[in-house]
């Protein structure tokens, strides 16, 4: 099946610094990528949807200036947590949907996640 | 709007016994439905999906799910649980108009020796 990678898998940073997380579709082209946040023992919360070459669409309540998303190519999206604070500590998961599949039911493939700890 | 309800937050079974994880959906049109599994500190892996073809869908690792329109259900089953099946399971519906997946709250499956 299709593979999505994330880098780094975990990161510890000081409060006030910025952290960039990369998401890559390794063997397919992804027109749409998604960024989720997951708190312990909870379901995934969609943060934003990004289409290649256009601005991301953020979910209500997600600060676009705080969580910068760039979808520069059909295989790469990045999430930058700017001026990170301890409350931003979480598990961040990206997902990608393949290009070229018409109709409905396209599968989203998920990355392994990035655990962020802000001290 | 689409929605999905996982009826059990925790399910505990003994190794070798059947698994049933329940999911009901709400949709104004024929939905696409998925089951994903998440092992601790990992991403989500697709188990199976339903997209209006056969109502009984077979997935990986011996799992299967049956789409029942009359009951608006998409329950996940496995005849015999393995210790390695212990994980969090998410029932998911695809909302085409909103262009996103709608997740259930998840069911944590524990498998005891």
Interval A17-74: pLDDT, tens:
999 999 999 988 888 899 999 998 889 999 999 888 888 999 999 999 999 999 888 8
Min distance B91 CA to chain A CA atoms (Å): 10
The C-alpha angle with vertex B24 and arms to B23 and B30, in degrees rounded to 5, equals 120
C-alpha to C-alpha distance for B97 and B106, rounded to whole angstroms: 23
* Average pLDDT taken over every residue of chain B: 92
The predicted pLDDT at position A102 comes to 45
The predicted pLDDT at position A53 comes to 80
Q: Kindly state the average pLDDT of the residues B36-46.
A: 91
Q: Which of B94, B104, B105 faces A105 most closely, judged by CB atoms?
A: B94
Write the CB contacts of B61 (distance below 8 Å, at least 6 apart in sequence).
B47, B78, B85
Write the CB contacts of B79 (distance below 8 Å, at least 6 apart in sequence).
B18, B62
Verify whether the Cβ–Cβ distance A108 to B90 is below 8 Å: no
Closest CA to B101 of A3, A70, A35: A35
Q: Kindly state the average pLDDT of the residues A99-110.
A: 69
Q: Which of B34, B42, B90 faces A112 most closely, judged by CB atoms?
A: B42
Q: Taking a C-beta distance cutoff of 8 angstroms, is the pair A5, A111 a contact?
A: yes
The predicted pLDDT at position A99 comes to 67
Q: Does A110 touch chain B (CB under 8 A)?
A: yes
Worst-scoring range by mean pLDDT, A75-79, B38-42, B73-77, B79-83? B38-42
The predicted pLDDT at position B96 comes to 75
**Which chain B residues contact residue A115 at CB under 8 A?**
41
Q: What is the DSSP string of chain A?
A: ---EEEE-SEEEE-TT--EEEEEEESSS-EEEEEEEEE-TTS-EEEEEEEETTSPPEEPTT--TTTEEEEEEETTEEEEEE-S--GGG-EEEEEEEEETT--SS-PPEEE---EEEEE-
Strand partners, A6: A23
Report CA Rg, chain B: 13
Closest CA to A68 of A96, A51, A47, A52: A47
Could you say which DSSP state residue B52 is in?
S
| Residue A86 reports pLDDT greater than 70 | yes
The predicted pLDDT at position B88 comes to 96
**Which chain A residues contact residue B42 at CB under 8 A?**
112-113
The string of pLDDT tens digits covering residues B43-91 is 899 999 998 778 999 999 999 999 999 999 999 999 999 999 999 999 9
A10 pLDDT tier (thresholds 50, 70, 90): very high
C-alpha to C-alpha distance for A95 and A104, rounded to whole angstroms: 17
Verify whether the Cβ–Cβ distance A34 to B100 is below 8 Å: yes
């Amino acid at each position: 099946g299709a593979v999505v990678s994330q880098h780094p898998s975990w990161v510890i940073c000081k409060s006030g610094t910025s952290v960039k997380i990369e998401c890559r579709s390794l063997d397919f082209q992804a027109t749409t990528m998604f960024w989720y946040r997951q708190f312990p023992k909870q379901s995934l919360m969609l943060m934003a949807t990004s289409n290649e070459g256009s601005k991301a669409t953020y979910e209500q309540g997600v600060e676009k200036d705080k969580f910068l998303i760039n979808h520069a190519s059909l295989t790469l999206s990045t999430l930058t947590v700017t001026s990170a604070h301890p409350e931003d500590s979480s598990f961040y998961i990206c997902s990608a949907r393949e290009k070229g599949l018409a109709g409905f039911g396209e599968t989203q493939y998920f990355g392994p996640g990035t655990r962020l700890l802000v001290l | 709007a689409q929605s999905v309800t996982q009826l059990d937050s925790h399910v505990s079974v003994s190794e070798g016994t059947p698994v049933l994880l329940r999911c009901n959906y709400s949709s104004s049109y024929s939905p696409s439905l998925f089951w994903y599994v998440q092992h601790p500190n990992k991403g989500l892996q697709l188990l199976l999906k339903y997209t209006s073809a056969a109502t009984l869908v077979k997935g990986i690792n011996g799992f299967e799910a049956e789409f029942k329109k009359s009951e608006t259900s998409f329950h996940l089953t496995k005849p015999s649980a393995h210790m390695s099946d212990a994980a969090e399971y998410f029932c998911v519906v695809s909302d085409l108009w909103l262009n996103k997946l709608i997740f259930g709250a998840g069911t944590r499956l524990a498998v005891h020796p």
